[in-house]
Amino acid sequence: MPILVMKFGGTSVANLDRIARASKRVAREVANGYDVIVIVSAMSGKTNELVGWVGDTSPMYDAREYDAIVSSGENVTAGLMALRLQEMDIPARSWQGWQVPVKTTSAHSSARINEIPNDNIMEKFGEGMRVAVVAGFQGVSPEGRITTLGRGGSDTTAVAFAAAFEAERCDIYTDVDGVYTTDPRLTDKARKLDKIAFEEMLELASLGAKVLQTRSVELAMRYKVKLRVLSSFEEYDPEAGTMVCDEEDIMESKVVAGVAYQRDEAKMTLISVADRPGIASAIFTPLAEAGVNVDMIVQNISEEGRTDMTFSCPVDQVARAERAMAEAKDSGEINFHDLVADTDVAKISVVGIGMRSHTGIAAKMFDVLSAEGINIKVITTSEIKISVLIDRKYMELAVQALHDAFELEKA
């Protein structure tokens, strides 16, 4: 029988009623003829409670114990859903990560999956089991200790199972009904996309459209896993949600798929840096070591051996960045005149695989912003994305104007 992977997030299994509701969706796919692998998160709130206990007990905790503790929530929901399915006369059983086993690296709290042997579960499918309910987010290290994949890791678990079992599709049930052209809270013209390419989804995910964990999209792209995002709170509809798939599976894609934003950015500029080979490394290595997530980087043309270096980072990391730069200056590793932080900026991006073959998207974007009187502070581009930093107060206006200009409300 074909295999389907279905993943339910924390809000979709938040209590017994929701688990029952999710189980009905699983039952329907079983009736449709699938053998189903269900990946479950912990009941919403449970993981946070456990994480809180760990932090209160040991601020600099041993990640191995952290993993052993926080993984327990998924075990509970996996067992409960298996029981619920059995009550519906569907042969089902639960699996914890070490039982499959989901073999991971030893990088506790951010482990990567090395291998998922499929023989145990396939054997049970062969014996008539119809649903394997697997605790998401967890695995087991070569040393036999429990690992976790990092927050949101259940998406990655789901995609990895879909790859290992060559599933027909991987359905990610969540509390939104799909991927939108932009955040519907910013404009009621936002439209749900029926399909989106992996590359676009990656850009949107990393830009703050937190529907799917980035790693899970990367994994799906690498193994060509058809990924569908849909709501567990809507009525059943086989065409529901958004399909994340290969570019080739999208017949007629628009040039621009969506407009993304990140609200709380900061723009930092090192004024008059002594320019020399290796200066970028001398700046960004200490920033990385200080845990600053640098996003955009722009370097002006060097004049008379000195240049300005601008980068962006989340606004709550500005103090950390300032400290790292001051220390690097004190130690003589870098030399600059001043460090100026602008903490009132937001990032706006237009994303679309069609940009590869269409020119003029950047020009059109700048025109639209200019017509609204919005000043552009920094620009970066990639093959399928153009991003700008602007004053935060113009963020909503910019999103709405770009959404209109690229006619994203039209299918």
Which residues of the chain form contacts with a copy of itself (CB under 8 A)?
Answer: 16, 19-20, 50, 53-54, 56-58, 61-62, 64-66, 68-69, 72-73, 75-76, 78-80, 82-84, 86-87, 93-94, 96, 98-99, 144-146
Minimum distance from residue 57 beta carbon to a copy of itself (Å): 5
Which of 115/168 has CB closer to a copy of itself?
115
- In angstroms, give the least distance from the CB of 71 to a copy of itself: 8
Nearer to a copy of itself, 99 or 285 (CB): 99
Work out how close the CB of 13 gets to a copy of itself at its nearest, in angstroms, rounded to a whole number: 12
Query: 274 with 308: CB under 8 angstroms?
Result: no
Query: Closest approach of Cβ 244 to a copy of itself, in Å?
Result: 32
**Is 141 or 262 the residue whose CB approaches a copy of itself more closely?**
141
* DSSP assignments along 324-366, one per residue: HHHHHHHTTS---SEEEEEEEEEEEEEE-GGGGT---HHHHHH
Closest contact distance (angstroms) between CB of 9 and a copy of itself is: 19
* CB nearer to a copy of itself: pick between 69 and 230: 69
Of 85 and 204, which has the nearer Cβ to a copy of itself? Answer: 85
- For residue 6, the number of C-alpha atoms closer than 13 Å in the C-beta half-sphere is 27
Residue 87, phi then psi, degrees to nearest 5: -60, -25
> Closer to a copy of itself at the Cβ: 20 or 294?
20
Question: Which residue(s) pair with 98 in the sheet?
Answer: none
> What does the buried/exposed string (b/e) look like for 337-347 if buried means 16 or more CB atoms within 10 Å of the residue's CB?
eebebbeebbb
- 146, 69 in Cβ contact below 8 A? no
Q: What are phi and psi of 138, to 5 degrees?
A: -130, 160
User: 338 and 310 in contact (C-beta within 8 Å)?
Assistant: no
